[in-house]
């Protein structure tokens, strides 16, 4: 029951993901970070099969870093999104990845951007987007309350409304969420919304 959503505000983009690692009827952990830093000003949030999600996002992260190392300049957010889409499209004809992606970034020239890339390599630039079962609730909340040019405080308030709606409406709702933000100061973790904490296993 994965939930990944994001939105663009005034000078920033926010992405949110649940942190549950689940297989069949088992919850393996509830602090899995599904939002990866691509570079200093880009975030990639992914949902899908755990193996595909981890392997593909790490592959994109390393190739973005390799491009910057070879050329001395980082990829723009649009270029990173198109590269990611191209790799998914190539894999689609060979060994497809079951992974859906929200890619957020900030560039000096274009400001904050959010890209939606699904498992069949569809690419769209959006102001708000979501994947997973939580999207049924987060998209409706964002349709009602989102407006362009939101402040950070307004955006976080909307994120909290989406999380509360998912927790109260979704039958098997994930308990914990991680929120990350990217703006002119870079990409970073903003907050966690936790209702369950993993209990550490005592050493023998």
CATH number at residue 153: 3.60.20.10
Per-residue pLDDT of the chain (204 residues; tens, 9 = 90+): 789 999 999 999 999 999 988 888 888 888 889 999 999 999 999 999 989 999 999 999 999 999 999 999 999 999 999 999 999 999 999 999 999 999 999 999 999 999 999 999 999 999 999 999 999 999 999 999 999 999 999 999 999 999 999 999 988 888 899 999 999 999 999 988 877 776 666 665
Residue 202 is assigned to a structural domain of this protein: no
Helix (H) or strand (E) holding 5: strand 3-8
What is the rounded distance in angstroms from the CA atom of residue 161 to the CA atom of residue 178?
14
Residues in Cβ contact with 178 at an 8 Å cutoff, skipping those fewer than 6 apart: 16, 17, 19, 33, 34, 35, 189, 191, 192, 193
Residue 122's pLDDT is: 95
Residue 194's pLDDT is: 78
Residue 88 is assigned to a structural domain of this protein: yes
Residue 195's pLDDT is: 75
* Orientation angle between helical segments 50-71 and 77-92, nearest 10 degrees: 130
Residue 177 is assigned to a structural domain of this protein: yes
Residue 153 is assigned to a structural domain of this protein: yes
Question: Structurally, how many domains does the chain consist of?
Answer: 1
CB 158 within 8 A of CB 148: no
**β-strand partners of 3:** 132
Residue 203 is assigned to a structural domain of this protein: no
Residue 197 is assigned to a structural domain of this protein: no
Residue 154 is assigned to a structural domain of this protein: yes
What is the rounded distance in angstroms from the CA atom of residue 15 to the CA atom of residue 137?
16
Residue 31 is assigned to a structural domain of this protein: yes
Residue 23's pLDDT is: 84
Residue 204's pLDDT is: 59
CB 31 within 8 A of CB 175: no
What is the rounded distance in angstroms from the CA atom of residue 77 to the CA atom of residue 24?
35
Residue 37's pLDDT is: 94
Containing structural domain, residue 9: 2-192
């Amino acid at each position: 029951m994965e939930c990944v959503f994001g939105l663009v505000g005034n000078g920033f983009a926010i992405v949110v993901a649940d942190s549950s690692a689940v297989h069949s009827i088992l919850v393996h952990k509830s602090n899995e970070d599904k939002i990866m830093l691509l570079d200093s000003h880009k975030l990639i949030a992914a949902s899908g099969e755990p193996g595909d999600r981890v392997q593909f996002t790490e592959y994109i992260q390393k190739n973005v870093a390799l491009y910057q190392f070879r050329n001395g300049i980082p990829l723009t957010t649009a270029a990173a999104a198109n590269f990611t889409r191209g790799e998914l499209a190539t894999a689609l004809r060979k060994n497809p990845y079951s992974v859906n992606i929200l890619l957020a970034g900030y560039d000096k020239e274009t400001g904050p951007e959010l890209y939606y890339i699904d498992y069949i390599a569809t690419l769209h630039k959006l102001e708000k987007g979501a994947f997973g079962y939580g999207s049924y609730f987060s998209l409706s909340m964002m349709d009602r309350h989102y407006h362009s040019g939101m402040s950070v405080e307004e955006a976080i308030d909307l994120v909290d409304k989406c999380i509360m709606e998912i927790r109260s409406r979704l039958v098997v709702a994930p308990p914990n969420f991680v929120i990350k933000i990217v703006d002119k100061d870079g990409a970073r973790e903003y907050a966690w919304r936790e209702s369950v904490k993993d209990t550490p296993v005592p050493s023998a």
